[in-house]
């Protein structure tokens, strides 16, 4: 208790200096946490993927479609228990700024493969029966204020024209990692609608989703699928859902590396500021530390004083920075909308923030503590 009172008194002896140092820590730690959360949000699709789903797409590119005739052949592949498919729709709701993912799917086979989308039985039935019906995630519905029964007009891009859909259900995610910012519609309705407009694009799908029995055999099952369509006009590339999601993340790898580098640079900068503060503090108290040693206090006590003061300031600034990160993340989440479907500060990020703050405090105090522990008593007392 005595040591804690002494540390508090020393830490706030120069109130302005301590306040400015803590402000720097708060800004640095909150910025570090926010940047880490952005990186986590980029990988959210990978984290939320299922090990029991494979994605089969064109071996050339996602922009090349696969024929619908592949579906029965895929069902016959050993290890595959379910087969569904989806197409990217790419419609615009009012303005391009209202971007959100839209997929044309086969509802009766697609939804059973995504149990994390929690819809009521009534909503599922209404969606199955209405070919112009759609279902959306809770986050997307809340963003635009949609309710079940609302008409939702979309201006087609990949599929030209004006399309009007009826909202038949709103799903809630099974957990925080579930994407609630998507819209699902009937693939059959889109397919029939473009039959007259563009016959060459009929009966084609963007990707196949394969449900498998044994996740440990994912690679083997993928090889079987790709071998089945080898040397065909539409060869496939089959991979786990996590690998499929990771392929999109890899396109932005340079950006992610830059964001991570900036987050570390911020910590290094505030470490230098903190070290300067502790060095100034130690220099000003040279005579005090010499007096303590003259009175019989060990060099270890002097070291504990400096480390304790530095860690106390770092801990207070770190906790304040962590608490500030939460409202900042909420503001950022509302600003980016559906760009990051899942954006939340994880427990790991909070732990890293506290560890970074304490690490800054420990490193900043190391040099002045070592110097003060070796101070010559006579030389120090001359400073009085």
Position 133 scores a pLDDT of: 95
Position 309 scores a pLDDT of: 78
Provide the sign of the torsion angle of the four alpha carbons 73, 79, 84, 88, taken in this order. negative
pLDDT, average across residues 299-324:
82
Q: Are 300 and 373 in contact (CB under 8 A)?
A: yes
pLDDT at 375 over 70: no
Reference 86, options 248, 219, 208; nearest CA is 208
| 324 pLDDT tier (thresholds 50, 70, 90) | very high
DSSP summary character for residue 316:
H
Q: How far apart are CA 106 and CA 185, in angstroms?
A: 8
The contacts of residue 114 (CB under 8 Å, 6+ apart) are none
Position 379 scores a pLDDT of: 58
Strand partners, 186: 105
The three-class DSSP label of residue 19 is helix
pLDDT at 302 over 80: no
Position 160 scores a pLDDT of: 83
Q: Determine phi and psi for 319, rounding to 5 degrees.
A: -65, -40
Reference 233, options 83, 79, 64, 381; nearest CA is 64
pLDDT at 384 over 60: no
Instruction: Render the burial of 137-176: b for 16+ CB within 10 Å, e for the rest.
Output: bebbbebeebeeeeebebebeebeeebebbbbbbbebeee
Greater confidence (235 vs 198) lies with 235
pLDDT at 8 over 80: no
| 46 pLDDT tier (thresholds 50, 70, 90) | low
pLDDT, average across residues 183-190:
95
Position 296 scores a pLDDT of: 66
CA angle 85, 87, 93 (to 5 degrees): 140
Q: Which of 249-263, 336-350, 367-381 shows the lowest mean pLDDT across its residues? A: 367-381
């Amino acid at each position: 208790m005595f040591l804690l009172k002494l540390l508090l008194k020393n830490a706030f002896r120069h109130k302005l200096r301590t306040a400015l140092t803590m402000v720097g820590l708060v800004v640095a730690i909150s910025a570090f946490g926010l940047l880490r959360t952005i990186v986590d949000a980029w990988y959210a699709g990978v984290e939320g993927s299922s090990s029991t789903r494979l994605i089969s797409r064109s071996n050339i590119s996602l922009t090349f479609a696969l024929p619908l005739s592949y579906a029965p052949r895929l069902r016959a592949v050993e290890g595959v228990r379910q087969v569904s498919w989806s197409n990217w729709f790419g419609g615009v709701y009012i303005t391009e700024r209202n971007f959100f993912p839209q997929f044309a799917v086969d509802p009766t086979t697609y939804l059973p493969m995504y149990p994390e989308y929690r819809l009521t039985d009534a909503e599922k039935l209404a969606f199955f029966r209405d070919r112009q019906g759609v279902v959306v995630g809770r986050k997307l519905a809340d963003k635009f204020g949609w309710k079940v029964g609302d008409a939702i007009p979309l201006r087609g891009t990949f599929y030209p024209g004006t399309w009007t859909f009826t909202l038949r259900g709103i799903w809630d995610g099974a957990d925080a990692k579930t994407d609630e910012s998507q819209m699902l519609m009937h693939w059959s309705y889109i397919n029939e609608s473009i039959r007259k407009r563009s016959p060459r694009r009929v009966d084609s799908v963007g990707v196949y989703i394969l449900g498998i029995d044994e996740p440990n055999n994912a690679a083997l099952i993928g090889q079987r699928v790709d071998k089945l369509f080898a040397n065909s006009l539409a060869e496939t590339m089959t991979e786990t859902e996590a690998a499929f999601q990771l392929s999109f993340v890899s396109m932005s790898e340079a950006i992610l590396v830059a964001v991570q580098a900036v987050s570390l640079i911020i910590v290094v900068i505030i470490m230098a500021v903190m070290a300067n503060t502790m060095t100034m503090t130690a220099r000003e108290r040279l005579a005090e530390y010499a007096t303590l040693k003259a009175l019989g206090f060990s060099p270890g006590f002097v070291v504990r004083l400096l480390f304790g003061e530095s860690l106390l300031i770092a801990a207070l600034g770190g906790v304040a920075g962590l608490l500030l990160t939460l409202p900042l993340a909420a503001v950022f989440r509302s600003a980016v909308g559906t760009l990051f479907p899942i954006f939340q500060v994880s427990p790991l990020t909070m732990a890293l923030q506290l560890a970074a703050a304490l690490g800054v405090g420990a490193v900043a105090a190391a040099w002045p503590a070592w110097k003060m522990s070796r101070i010559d008593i006579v030389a120090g007392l001359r400073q009085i």
